[in-house]
Chains A and B, each alone.
Chain A
């Protein structure tokens, strides 16, 4: 994993609640057996007018010229709900998104993003509303996310603080190898397995 410290980019407003992982990456693209190459299928059904993905839907936010190069996504409640597919963060990352800001995220999606160098920022509903207003008013607005200080700053100089679990923060800052981290405690895993062999032999 790449370390994540701070990021500045154009923010795209996706004004919709309950964006599910089927909407982020539909099932017909889940058949790839690699982690890359999903970006061109991101938001496929919202983004294209045809099944083949050859005709852009001009009304979809990412097809508007001012948001073509956006790397920060502003969304509504319960972003990433539904299926556990990690293809969703792979597609978001592959497209170029590094930061997603919303009032709430689905549980599994949140964990999946942390493992894929995407910073998810939870802000209060009224804060989200104010950012929507700002980026809708000024074309090309950018947002800066600073993980160390846990702040989001808009190009209009409005700053918002956000909470993040210290471990998730540390993982992103260091680009942690999760398996490597756990394996430091291999002796504890061994001890657990020895104990369970005696106490619940039917489980082993």
Chain B
């Protein structure tokens, strides 16, 4: 029988089938960070349980860590508590830890692929909703809650019933200045923030196949913003080349054997998905969110919509509330919206390619006087690579702040945050109320669009810079 990639991975990880109750699936790798894990380790301690496979568990510190200092004592006290708790838990339970001082430390969804921990065909989980990022390698990867983190630590398995499958076929050539971030924002705008609830999405088509691994990760990363359990892309030569020779990648004969297996993972021809969506890539323009939900998104050419534009009363009322919070008037051109912050980074857009794209725009230019621009590399490796290429100098000369790796102002859990009324062009993934600081306003954009906004001090169209 023809199977989707999702079904193949599901079937190969089934430990126990459901007997009217629930399936148990095996988890190959669990990634851990300091915010959603302390209660899980505490649960193990209280019940006298151990971590079943510490060697399959990899921890990093990212959400709380300062991007200004590596000195723990200079970080906020409550952050120190969580950071110390993770260090102690990893020591006690024997878990691999890439702490804030480790040269390869980074945002959980950036450091793991870089180290070759993420591989095709694996089931990967993390107490973090952006875990779908790893699906870019043709793995089944999704976010879980802390009780489930504890469950995986104790059993290396998860209770789960299969999801429905959705195929999103993106075909055609992208316009210059339009990239992975625009593709995924466009999709979320089309299907809505709950459009894929209950589904695992497979992104396919020649536009997706032409993307680099970094770009594929950006697309899969925001699957959760459409409500999907996971997002995935079939592994191909781009994937195999990316993995080869990385720290935890299989080596020599084992690599060859693995590639042979990875090639069998792609969805069989003629497989029927529960839902299919066709997207014409040439129609996608640079995207900008105007509201407080990633689905409230339009093209840069558009104007801010009015609540009356929405047929559904719930959408109309959500639009009204969003406009109030965002301090925007319907009919305003997106390109007339001033911003005073720019954030370039996060698990969505904190990779080397993202920084290259932003630096390419900012080279020889100056950040507008009233704009604070933060550039936060996604990991220690990204930072080193960027510095080798001189990107740090481009950013600093333009007037940006060049920081240490971390989640930073994507969720503003450390001290990188905006104040009431501040407005940001941000390469992150969520524009929820207060996400980047209480009372702050977020417009989600691509790294290039963020760079252009930094120069102009307002939302602007990257296409005129190319």
**Same complex:** yes
Within the complex, which residue of A16, A31, A86, A179 is in contact with B146, where a contact is CB–CB below 8 Å?
A: A86
Taken residue by residue from 157 to 199, chain B's Cβ proximity to chain A (1 for < 8 Å, 0 otherwise) reads as 1010100000000000000000000000000000001100110
A31 pairs with B434, CB closer than 8 A: no
The answer to whether A107 and B147 touch across the interface, beta carbons within 8 angstroms, is no
B86 CB, nearest partner CB in chain A, Å: 9
Q: Are B159 and A178 in contact (CB under 8 A)?
A: yes
Give the chain A neighbours of B82 by CB distance below 8 A: 31, 33
Bound CA span A81–B35, Å = 18
Query: What A residues does B42 contact at CB under 8 A?
Result: 33-34
Q: Residue on B with the closest CB to A111? A: B145
- A28 on interface, CB distance cutoff 8 Å: yes
Contact between chains at B122 and A26 (CB < 8 Å): no
Residues of B within 8 A of A85 (CB): 35-36, 145
B280 → A minimal CB distance (Å):
27
Is the beta-carbon distance between A111 and B148 smaller than 8 angstroms? yes
What string of 1s and 0s marks CB contacts (under 8 Å) between A134-161 and chain B? 0000000000000000000000000000
* Residue pair B258, A202 in contact (C-beta under 8 Å): yes
Tell me, in angstroms, the Cα distance from A28 to B438 when the chains sit together: 10
Cα–Cα, bound, A196→B255 (Å): 16
* A108 close to B (CB within 8 Å): yes
CA distance A48 to B114 in the complex (A): 42
Distance of B257 from chain A, by nearest CB (Å):
7
Q: Are A20 and B432 in contact, with the CB atoms below 8 A?
A: yes
| Cβ contacts under 8 Å, B317 to chain A | 15-17
Query: Smallest CB-CB separation from A50: which chain B residue?
Result: B438
Interface stretch among B19-27, B353-361, B385-393? B19-27
**A182 in complex: contacting residue of B159, B261, B413, CB < 8 Å:** B159
B373 to chain A, nearest CB (A): 22
Point out the residue from A35, A108, A167 that lies within 8 Å of B21, measured CB to CB: A167
Measured CA separation A163–B24 after assembly (Å): 22
**In the bound complex, do residue B64 and residue A31 qualify as a contact, i.e. CB atoms below 8 Å apart?**
yes
In the bound complex, how far is the Cα of B167 from the Cα of A23, in angstroms?
31
Option from B16, B128, B293 in Cβ contact (under 8 Å) with A18: B293
State the Cβ distance, B195 to closest chain A Cβ, in Å: 10
Please give me the residue from chain B that is nearest to A103 by CB atom: B314
Contacts of A82 in B (CB 8 A): 129, 224, 430, 432
Contact with A along B56-70 (1 / 0, CB 8 A): 000000011000000
Check A71 for interface membership: any CB of B closer than 8 A: no
Q: How far is the CB of B310 from chain A (nearest CB, A)?
A: 11
Q: Which residue of B lies closest to A168 (CB)?
A: B22
With a CB–CB cut-off of 8 A, which chain A residues contact B28? 203
- Which 3 pairs across A and B sit closest by C-beta, in order of nearness? A202-B250, A33-B38, A112-B145
- 22 A–B contacts from the bound complex (CB under 8 Å): A17-B314, A22-B433, A22-B434, A22-B435, A33-B38, A45-B438, A51-B438, A84-B143, A106-B194, A106-B197, A107-B197, A111-B144, A115-B147, A115-B148, A179-B155, A182-B159, A189-B15, A192-B26, A200-B261, A202-B255, A202-B257, A203-B122
Interface residues of A (CB under 8 A from B): 15-18, 20, 22-23, 26-28, 30-31, 33-35, 45, 51, 76-78, 81-86, 89, 104, 106-108, 111-112, 115-116, 165-167, 170, 178-179, 181-183, 185-186, 188-189, 192-193, 196, 200-203
Which B positions have Cβ atoms within 8 angstroms of A? 15-16, 18, 20-22, 24, 26, 28, 35-36, 38-39, 42, 47, 49, 63-64, 78-79, 81-82, 85, 119, 121-122, 127-129, 143-148, 150-151, 154-157, 159, 161, 193-194, 197-198, 224, 227, 229, 250, 254-255, 257-258, 261, 293, 314-315, 317-318, 321, 411-413, 430, 432-435, 438
> Given contacts A78-B197, A167-B18, could you give 10 more A-B pairs where the C-beta distance is less than 8 Å?
A15-B317, A18-B293, A27-B413, A82-B430, A84-B145, A106-B227, A108-B144, A167-B159, A200-B258, A202-B119
